[in-house]
Amino acid sequence: MTILRICWTIDGITLLVALYVFFDGLATDTPEYGFYIGWFALLSLLMAGLLGSYWLLNHDHPRWAILVASVPAILATLAGLWMLLLLLLYKQGGNSK
């Protein structure tokens, strides 16, 4: 049950960050059609992970609920670690020697 709550927390935080970036992208300029498709896919995956795992938990399938919630949580954690790695390795000023 603790693993499920951790996955729900990661999924929820990721969903809030994704919604913020989506609405910020809408406010900057007129986005194209591909913008909506990409964000729709990302937000759908996050919502399916949250709502599907909640539904499975309420119907006495806790192992499936953990599995469904952990897929977006693992993907979000890997993406966050990748961004952290890029932030740590990025050098200001480009590739100057």
Question: Does 56 map to a domain?
Answer: yes
Whole-prediction pTM: 0.81
d(CA 83, CA 80): 5
| Res 10 pLDDT > 90 | yes
Domain that holds residue 79: 2-89
- The vertex-3 CA angle with 44 and 15, nearest 5°, equals 25
Q: Which of 75, 72, 81 is nearest to 11 (CA)?
A: 72
In residues, how long is the chain?
97
Per the CB < 8 A criterion, the answer to whether 47 and 15 are in contact is: yes
Identify whether 95 is part of a domain.
no
Count: domains in the chain: 1
Mean pLDDT, residues 38-58: 92
Structure tokens that stand for 75 in this block: 């993907």
Residue 28 lies in a domain: yes
Render pLDDT for 39-48 as a digit per residue (tens, 0 to 9). 889 899 899 9
